[in-house]
Amino acid sequence: MTMQNMTINDIQDNLITEFSIHQDNNALEQHLVQLGNQLPLMSADYKHDYYRIKDWPFPLWLKAELQKDRVWFRADSEDPLTRALVSMLIKILGGHSPKEIADADLYFISETGLLRRLIPDHASKWLSILRRMKSFAVSYQLQLLQQESYQYQTS
């Protein structure tokens, strides 16, 4: 099954399995940094307040784009663990429909114990990233519904 055919829960389950092999926090942190390094670079054009996650303790920018009824995300941060976290969220949610993203239950964070193990003081703040991603999805879902309604009315 390719990543494009996987559900949000399939991807989460894979991440949970992947993280379960890292019993040592140093190994886990190295793995996370590698994930963060896989995050594609974001253009400096998007590194301004509109795209900045304000509740996050480190500079973090997040952009969403709707392409053919799928939402794709771009993000960047100077902090390696922040890059890793947002990279995982993008891996899980990116390429799915707005409805799938809006309805997603992201259980991998609690299942892996990731934030408790590495950045406990940010555990409650990761929700600000997820809220922003879901708000983009809801906005795009409304946009798609309006387009469908308009097409229905004009046909």
Q: Return the biggest CA–CA distance within the chain.
A: 60
pTM of the full predicted structure?
0.86
Domains and CATH numbers, the chain: 3-148 (3.90.1010.10)
Average pLDDT, the chain: 86
pLDDT digits 0-9 by tens, 76-99 = 998 888 898 899 999 999 999 999
Reduced 3-state DSSP string for the chain: CCHHHCCHHHHHHHHHHHHHCCCCHHHHHHHHHHHHHCCCCCCHHHCCHHHECCCCCCCEEEEEEEECCEEEEEEEECCHHHHHHHHHHHHHHCCECHHHHHHCCCCHHHHHCHHHHHCHHHCCCHHHHHHHHHHHHHHHHHHHHHHHHHHHHHC
